[in-house]
Amino acid sequence: MTLAVLGPRGTFSCELAEKIKEADEEILLCSTIHDVFVSVTENQIRGIVPVENSEAGGVGETLDGLMQTDCKITAEYYMPIRHFFASEYGFDEIEVVYTHPQSHEQACEFLRSLRDISIIHTSSNSQSAKEAKKALNSAAVTTESAAKLYNLPLLKKDIQNSQNNITRFLEISSGIILPDKPDKCSIVIIPKENRPGLLYGILEIFAKNGINLTRIESRPSKEGIGRYVFFIDFETDRGWQDMVKNLKKITGIKELGCYKNRSLTE
Amino acid sequence: MTLAVLGPRGTFSCELAEKIKEADEEILLCSTIHDVFVSVTENQIRGIVPVENSEAGGVGETLDGLMQTDCKITAEYYMPIRHFFASEYGFDEIEVVYTHPQSHEQACEFLRSLRDISIIHTSSNSQSAKEAKKALNSAAVTTESAAKLYNLPLLKKDIQNSQNNITRFLEISSGIILPDKPDKCSIVIIPKENRPGLLYGILEIFAKNGINLTRIESRPSKEGIGRYVFFIDFETDRGWQDMVKNLKKITGIKELGCYKNRSLTE
């Protein structure tokens, strides 16, 4: 089997894939999150994509992939995120810092404390380490594995703003796999019309069925400004199948899958 | 007076600032959205920040700035977004494309249609043009004004996925200015506890007062994964002041300002 994931080697997605892959499973590195969705669909394999971070919020490209493809969610994983400041230079010599924009946001307090530096955004945490290795007087905000990969000394560990920094990842597959007792389900509400009180009517159905929403996130419907779809995750303790039927009576919905929370062994 | 805005010259924020500035007003270019909020607070000036795009969704750094500072919203503007593909090379010769990550998302269909190119992310649409001017066999996804600034020929106009691509910008100020008849108000719901049904109870207050929500967006509360605050915009036709009082009885809220929608003259 193959596990598709956002590359290059040294990203958080890649670190997670290494932890959860089966012994005989190969990792396929994709260059964008969109490509992970395409690979999963075309090759009937499973993939891993980040969906939200406790500091930086939702990952738009993953929500769009769930909306636009037939991939289904088959598990979720919570991974603690640690950012490292790596460089071959001393703090006094550093003039340029390479960082992925999301890592910039997650480590902005530390980065703001550095004086007289320029920040250059890159396409991945691994790319940041690669660029810092090549350029003079530069440093990277990166992962432990990417710093190791590019042989870049760690100047400071855990530079993330919050020590509770966690990213939630989803496992996606091309087919529906309904586990025996799922922990959670995900749906997208796709309003057929833009009428006042629609969202209230939807949440009423959840409340009356005693079903707990764990997350709601709006995304542009891409039909013009002010038009949205709503991604909702909910717990599956009781009667959720009937509730989904009731929802379908008042709004368009797309079912994204019901799944288990899998814990990571250190 | 001074108008603070995300620089460098040639970004969409800058194009908007040029359109709306008073004759005697100077533009102050900031290097991040966070710096716009800091400048507005420290210098008691007004600023312009992007808050959502009809394709790419909310701008996290702006929502965080509204949450973390005392800046208030004093107006909103809707600006049509046009992306340009600019290069000194022909299509056959282009190997590298420089693009800001949000522009990448908004022009991904066009970019995917190009074969055998690498994409390098930059910190602004203006930076993309600057890099493409320097590097061999390269092109930029950029603005019309940045292409002009760096003297880069336009190969293709309007490469955005959607021809309805619009960005909503907010004018922020350091003091509260309540206009006579505001069009809209913005608040952040800051739940004191994480209890089931809270969001339903909040939307119920809007529905019972006949007040139309125009937008709801969740953001991490930064207190750990699964904890959120909710940014809500609503119309101000009737009784909204009483409604805000009722909301305060059941949840923490932060008022971000009531303001007018200002149209742009071409």
Instruction: Please answer yes or no on whether A164 and B123 come within 8 Å at the CB atom.
Output: no
Instruction: Please answer yes or no on whether A60 and B162 come within 8 Å at the CB atom.
Output: no
- Structural domains present in chain A: 1-81+164-175 (3.40.190.10), 84-156 (3.40.190.10), 182-266 (3.30.70.260)
Q: Is the pLDDT score of A215 beyond 70?
A: yes
Instruction: Please answer yes or no on whether B223 and A78 come within 8 Å at the CB atom.
Output: no
Widest Cα–Cα separation across chain A = 64
Query: Residues A95-109: what's their mean pLDDT?
Result: 90
Supply B14's token pair. Answer: 């800058």
CB-count exposure of residue A96 (10 Å: 0-12, 13-18, 19+): middle
Residue of B nearest to A202 (CA): B200
Mean confidence (pLDDT) of chain A: 91
Size of the A and B interface in Cβ pairs below 8 Å:
118
Report the Cα A261 to chain-centroid distance in Å: 15
Instruction: Report the pLDDT value the prediction gives residue B196, as an integer from 0 to 100.
Output: 77
Nearest-CA distance A24 → chain B (Å): 31
DSSP type of residue B12: H
Of A33-37, A81-85, B36-40, B259-263, the one with minimum mean pLDDT is B259-263
Instruction: Please answer yes or no on whether A212 and B196 come within 8 Å at the CB atom.
Output: yes
ipTM over 0.90: no
d(CA A216, CA A186): 10
- A7-20 pLDDT tens trace: 889 989 999 999 99
Q: Are A26 and A2 in contact (CB under 8 A)?
A: yes
Q: What is the mean pLDDT of each run of 10 residues along chain B (266 residues)?
A: 91 92 93 92 95 91 94 95 96 94 88 89 88 96 96 96 92 84 94 84 91 92 90 88 92 94 72
Identity of the residue numbered A261:
N
- At B40 the three-state DSSP class reads helix
Q: Is the pLDDT score of A266 beyond 60?
A: no
Closest among B52, B116, B98, B99 to B79, alpha carbons compared: B52
Q: Is the pLDDT score of A252 beyond 90?
A: yes
Instruction: Report the pLDDT value the prediction gives residue B181, as an integer from 0 to 100.
Output: 86
Query: Residues A94-104: what's their mean pLDDT?
Result: 91
Q: Is the pLDDT score of A40 beyond 90?
A: yes
Whole-angstrom CA distances from A182 to A76, A171, A234, A248 are 11, 14, 11, 21
Q: Find tokens 């709306």 and name the residue.
A: B20
d(CA A81, CA A33): 19
Q: Is the pLDDT score of A185 beyond 70?
A: yes
SS (H, E, C) chain A: CEEEEECCCCCHHHHHHHHHCCCCCEEEEECCHHHHHHHHHHHCCEEEEEEEECCCEECHHHHHHHHHCCCEEEEEEEEECCCEEEECCCHHHCCEEEECHHHHHHCHHHHHHCCCCEEEECCCHHHHHHHHHHCCCEEEEECHHHHHHCCCCEEECCCCCCCCCEEEEEEEECCCCCCCCCCEEEEEEECCCCCCCHHHHHHHHHHHCCCCEEEEEEEECCCCCCCEEEEEEEECCCCHHHHHHHHHHHCEEEEEEEEEECCCCC
Query: Residues A38-50: what's their mean pLDDT?
Result: 95
Instruction: Please answer yes or no on whether A215 and B218 come within 8 Å at the CB atom.
Output: yes
Query: Residues A57-79: what's their mean pLDDT?
Result: 94
Instruction: Report the pLDDT value the prediction gives residue B192, as an integer from 0 to 100.
Output: 85
Instruction: Report the pLDDT value the prediction gives residue B175, as an integer from 0 to 100.
Output: 78
Instruction: Report the pLDDT value the prediction gives residue A169, as an integer from 0 to 100.
Output: 97
Partner residue opposite A199 with nearest CB, options B60, B105, B213 = B213
| Residue A77 with chain B: CB contacts under 8 Å | none
**Dihedral sign, Cα of residue B64, residue B69, residue B75, residue B81:** negative
R_g (Cα) of chain A, nearest Å = 20
d(CA A218, CA A206): 17
Nearest-CA distance B120 → chain A (Å): 7
Instruction: Report the pLDDT value the prediction gives residue A39, as an integer from 0 to 100.
Output: 96
Helix intervals (H) in B114-162: 125-134, 144-149
Instruction: Report the pLDDT value the prediction gives residue A265, as an integer from 0 to 100.
Output: 56
Closest among B102, B109, B100 to B156, alpha carbons compared: B109
Query: Residues A41-69: what's their mean pLDDT?
Result: 93
d(CA B88, CA B255): 49
Q: Is the pLDDT score of A109 beyond 70?
A: yes
